[in-house]
Structures are given as structure tokens and as C-alpha cells.
């Protein structure tokens, strides 16, 4: 049984009472958190295989990025000036080049995304895209924890919908990793916009059978409600509830245009959550902002996500907490409508809850998987404060993450990846990037 003791750090537990130990310890035994406490209660060093003294560091649960599309790192900086939250912007800047993607592009792209996430403190992410098998393979190599939603785009083609459902079902049955780090889900891209009612209901039935969820986009742009307003005179969320869609575990990204009635739909549902993607929302130029405060007040689980890095353009979840807080202040017209402590919770425990992983990750409590990070706050930009969560959220940076563990395995040590060097991952990625975009150009001339 491998064991590690981390001591002398500021420990944010994110447990039920958001306990903080100004000088604390965390013990990791056999991949799990074996104990957490204040330094006075620290066990004897001699019992552990490895002891790390971390003064000047925050030790906290690994961050959970609740919405992204990791392969889309290939589009970073390629859709500037387009709103990716409208059908037109997405279709022109993403969908058209996407048609040139091949399966062998995915591994190197996802590997670089996983590297960026790990190095900035993300230990779990929720991904949705095509080529789900290639994504799962790359995530398993990187060692991160992920929910991978098999992206389904039907676009009115019945036969294609049936074929995709069969493939996605096969994905669910084959891809759950033995160590539990990779969890396969369904990913209907956007209900009504590109998935029919019949297909959505079939997806819920299969997902429930496998005990997994559905990750989708909802209320991102004007198109999302147009079809249901025309057909039923209601928003998509209300129509989906009537359809029976919310009987499944539903994790919805963006949710910018939610009415008070839609918020009630989410609050009533047994397992519904939202990924609030503040940076991507701002960059899209959409006037609306996800009503995160009202959702939380209604008791809905609100997690945080970066969205793809064509829409963000990075994976830094500390930055995402900050932007989420700033945007909420602006929307509500008052200072700090969401306390920093709650933003930390949204980026950890609420993310875990959204993905159905709350028993396993999201907080530092005995028995949970040892997914945690150590952030160096000894450098410039940090100073003494009575409010450590505000220091982290509003002064912190993912670039100060120094050590990262997933299931007790150290993936990042001293800002370096331990499984595979970043330089190798970058070199592979660069070759893939050039090859992919030359294929896109050739298809355009075609
Ligand atoms: Zn998205």
C-alpha cells in the first residue's frame, strides 16, 4: 500500500462545512484520502512512504471542468469574431472544418488538452464530442478522470440517428475503465436543434439502463427555443420536461436563456445540473448571462466549465472561477452575489455532483479518491489575508499549480507531467495541427 503525507499546507477541504485548516495535513493511502486535519493532529511522518512538507501552498480537491470538447483545441484562435453560441457562428467556423477531422487527429489533440488541464489543476473534466473512443483512449493514457459523452448530431437524418444511438450504446458498454477514471455518457449535441424527440427519449432510456447521464447544450442561443415555441408555445426546457427527458440524469451546458419556469424545471428534476461557462458566454457576445444565482437559490447544482478552447481560450479553472464571480456580480448588479467559497465549491464539489461522482471526488474527506492539487502561493501576487478562497479565486492562477494527484497517482510534480513530457505532447500535436489544417484548406479548394 503506497502512502503519502502532505503537511504544513493550507488545506481547503470543501467538506460539508467548508472547513479550512490554516496549517493542515492530508494523508493518501492506496489512492484514497486516509485522513485530513489540522497540524496538531498530524500523524507521525515515519508511518508514510513519502512525506511532503508544503508551507506556502494551498492543498485542495482537484478542479472539475464541467463542460468542454477537448479535441477542439485544434480550433483554438480559429473562430475569433464568430459567436460560437449561435447556429450560424458554430456552423461556419467549426462545423465546416470539422468535416475534415479524422480519427487519428483526436489522440494528439486530446493529449495536449489533458496536459493543459492537469498542469493547471483540473483532475476531472466532462467532455462531449465525436470520436469518443479515441478521446477515451487518450484520456486513459493521460491518467485524468473524465466523463466522456458520446456526441450525437442527427440533423434531421433518421437513419443516422439510429446508427449513432447503436454506436453510442456500444460505447457505454465498452468504455468504462477498470479503475473508474473514465465514465462514458451520452452527448446529444442540442435537443430539437439537432436531436429529434424520438431519439432523445431513446437516449434517456439507454442511459438510465446503464446508470449514466446525458450531457448536452441547452438555451445557448435563440435557436434553442425557436422550434419548441413554434410547435408547442413553450421553451425547450418545458417541452423536454413534458416529453419525459428530465427522468434521466441531465447535465446541461450554458443555459443562458432560462425563464423562471425553466429554472423550476431544473429544480424539480431528480438529477439535473448546469455547467455555467462564464468566459465562453462573454466571448460569444450573447447579451444574456446564465442566471447562476437564481439557479443556486432554487437548489439546482451549478458547476463551472471552460467550454472548448476555441471559445475561451484556455482550461484554467481558477480563471474560470474568477470570471464566473465577476459576471454574476455584473448580472445581479451587486458585489459578490456568489461568495468565493461558493465559487470554489462550484469548481469542485458541485462539479462532482453534476457528474454523479460526489461519493468519489469533489472534497478532501476520508474514503474519497485522492484527487487533489497543491498550489504554490509563496510567489508575487499573493499575500496574507483572512479570506483564503478570495485570494485563490481573485488573485490566483492555474499557472501556480505545482503538484497534482489523481486517485493517489501523482501526475504533475513541480509543474512537470510525470507520465509523458509536455515537449513530446506538443511535438505530436504540432504535426497533427499542420496536417489537419492543410486538409481543411485542400477541402476548401476542392
Ligand atoms: Zn460546448
Q: Give the CATH number for residue 7.
A: 2.30.40.10
Ligand 1 centroid – CA 436 distance (Å): 21
Q: What is the pLDDT of residues 193-251, one digit of tens each?
A: 778 899 999 999 999 999 999 999 998 877 888 888 999 999 999 999 999 999 999 99
| pLDDT on residue 11 | 98
* 198 alpha carbon, distance to own chain's centre: 28
Do 252 and 324 sit in the same domain of this protein? Answer: yes
Express the helix, strand and coil content of the chain in percent, nearest 5 each.
Answer: 45, 25, 35
Whole-angstrom Cα distance, residue 355 to residue 214?
10
Q: How far is the CA of 308 from the centre of ligand 1 (A)?
A: 6
Range of the domain at 381: 3-61+361-417
Please tell me the predicted confidence (pLDDT) of residue 92: 83
| Exposure of 178 in the CB half-sphere (CA atoms within 13 A) | 0
Neighbours of ion ligand 1 (CB under 5 A): 307
Residue 29 CA to ligand 1 centre (angstroms): 36
Query: What's the pLDDT score for residue 223?
Result: 80
Q: Ligand 1 center to residue 76 CA distance, Å?
A: 14
CA of 309 to the centre of ligand 1 (A): 10
Task: Kindly state whether residues 53 and 67 are assigned to the same domain.
Answer: no
Q: 284 CA distance to ligand 1 centroid (A)?
A: 12
What spacing in Å lies between the alpha carbon of 290 and ligand 1's midpoint? 14
**How far does the chain reach from its first CA to its final CA, in angstroms?**
59
List, run by run, the mean pLDDT of 10-residue segments along the chain (446 residues): 94 97 98 98 95 98 98 93 81 89 98 98 97 97 97 86 93 89 92 85 94 93 85 93 95 94 97 97 89 98 96 96 97 97 98 98 98 98 96 98 98 98 98 98 92
Residues 250 and 377 in one domain: no
Q: How far is the CA of 366 from the centre of ligand 1 (A)?
A: 34
The pLDDT value recorded for residue 177 is 81
Give the number of domains in the chain.
2
Domain check: are 400 and 372 in the same one? Answer: yes
214 and 236 co-located in one domain: yes
Structure confidence at residue 446 (pLDDT): 82
Let me know: does 373 contact 363? Beta carbons within 8 Å. no
- The DSSP bridge pattern shows strands 20-29 and 57-61 to be unpaired
Considering the domain architecture, whether residues 90 and 53 belong to the same structural domain is answered as no
pTM for this prediction: 0.97
Are 344 and 279 contained in the same domain?
yes
Query: Ligand 1 center to residue 86 CA distance, Å?
Result: 11
State which of 339, 354, 369 marks the end of a domain.
Answer: 354
The residue among 113, 164, 95 whose CA lies nearest residue 307 is 113
Distance 217 CA to ligand 1 centre (A): 6
Cell of 16: 460539508
How many whole angstroms from 279 Cα to the centroid of ligand 1? 12
Q: How far is the CA of 34 from the centre of ligand 1 (A)?
A: 36
Distance (angstroms) between ligand 1 centre and the Cα of 69 equals: 6
The domain boundary, picked from 354, 377, 402, lies at 354
If asked whether residues 245 and 294 sit together in one domain, one would say yes
Share of the chain above pLDDT 90, in %: 85
Residue 383: phi, psi to the nearest 5? -155, 175
232 lies in the same domain as 122:
yes
The label of the residue with cell 513530446 reads 424
Amino acid at each position: 500500500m503506497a502512502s503519502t503525507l502532505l503537511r504544513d499546507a493550507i488545506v481547503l477541504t470543501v467538506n460539508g462545512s467548508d472547513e479550512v485548516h490554516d496549517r493542515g495535513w492530508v494523508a493518501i493511502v492506496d489512492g484514497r484520502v486516509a485522513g485530513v486535519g489540522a497540524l496538531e493532529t498530524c500523524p507521525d511522518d515515519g508511518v508514510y512512504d513519502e512525506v511532503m512538507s508544503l508551507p506556502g501552498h494551498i492543498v485542495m480537491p482537484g478542479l472539475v471542468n464541467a463542460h468542454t470538447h477537448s479535441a477542439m483545441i485544434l480550433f483554438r484562435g480559429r473562430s475569433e469574431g464568430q459567436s460560437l453560441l449561435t447556429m450560424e457562428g458554430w456552423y461556419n467556423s467549426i462545423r465546416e472544418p470539422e468535416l475534415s477531422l479524422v480519427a487519428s487527429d483526436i489522440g494528439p489533440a486530446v493529449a495536449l488538452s489533458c496536459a493543459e488541464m492537469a498542469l493547471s489543476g483540473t483532475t476531472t473534466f466532462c467532455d462531449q464530442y465525436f470520436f469518443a473512443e479515441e478521446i477515451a483512449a487518450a484520456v486513459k493514457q493521460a491518467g485524468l478522470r473524465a466523463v466522456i459523452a458520446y456526441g450525437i448530431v442527427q440533423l434531421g437524418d433518421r437513419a443516422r440517428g439510429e446508427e449513432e444511438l447503436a454506436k453510442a450504446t456500444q460505447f457505454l458498454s465498452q468504455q468504462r475503465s477498470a479503475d473508474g477514471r473514465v465514465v462514458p455518457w451520452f452527448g446529444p449535441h442540442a435537443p430539437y436543434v439537432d436531436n429529434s424527440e424520438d431519439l432523445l427519449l431513446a437516449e434517456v432510456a439507454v442511459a438510465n439502463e446503464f446508470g449514466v447521464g446525458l450531457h448536452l447544450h441547452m438555451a445557448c442561443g435563440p435557436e434553442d427555443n425557436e422550434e419548441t415555441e413554434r410547435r408547442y408555445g413553450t421553451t425547450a426546457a418545458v417541452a423536454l420536461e413534458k416529453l419525459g427527458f428530465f427522468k434521466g440524469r441531465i447535465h446541461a451546458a450554458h443555459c443562458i436563456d432560462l425563464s423562471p419556469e425553466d429554472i423550476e424545471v431544473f429544480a424539480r428534476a431528480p438529477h439535473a445540473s448546469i455547467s455555467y461557462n462564464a468566459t465562453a458566454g462573454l466571448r460569444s457576445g450573447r447579451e444574456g448571462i446564465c442566471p447562476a444565482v437564481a439557479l443556486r437559490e432554487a437548489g439546482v447544482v451549478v458547476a463551472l466549465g471552460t467550454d472548448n478552447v476555441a471559445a475561451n481560450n484556455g482550461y484554467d479553472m481558477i480563471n474560470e472561477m474568477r470570471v464566473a464571480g465577476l459576471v454574476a456580480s455584473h448580472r445581479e448588479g451587486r458585489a459578490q452575489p456568489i461568495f468565493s467559497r461558493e465559487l470554489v465549491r462550484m469548481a469542485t464539489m458541485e462539479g462532482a455532483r453534476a457528474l454523479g461522482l460526489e461519493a468519489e471526488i469533489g472534497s478532501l474527506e476520508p474514503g474519497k479518491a485522492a484527487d487533489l492539487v497543491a498550489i504554490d502561493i509563496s510567489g508575487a501576487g499573493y499575500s496574507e489575508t483572512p479570506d483564503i478562497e478570495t485570494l485563490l479565486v481573485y488573485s490566483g492562477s492555474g499557472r501556480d499549480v505545482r503538484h497534482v494527484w489523481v486517485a493517489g497517482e501523482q501526475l504533475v510534480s513541480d509543474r512537470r507531467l510525470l507520465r509523458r513530457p509536455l515537449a513530446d505532447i506538443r511535438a505530436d500535436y504540432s504535426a497533427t495541427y499542420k496536417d489537419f489544417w492543410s486538409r481543411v484548406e485542400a477541402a476548401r479548394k476542392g
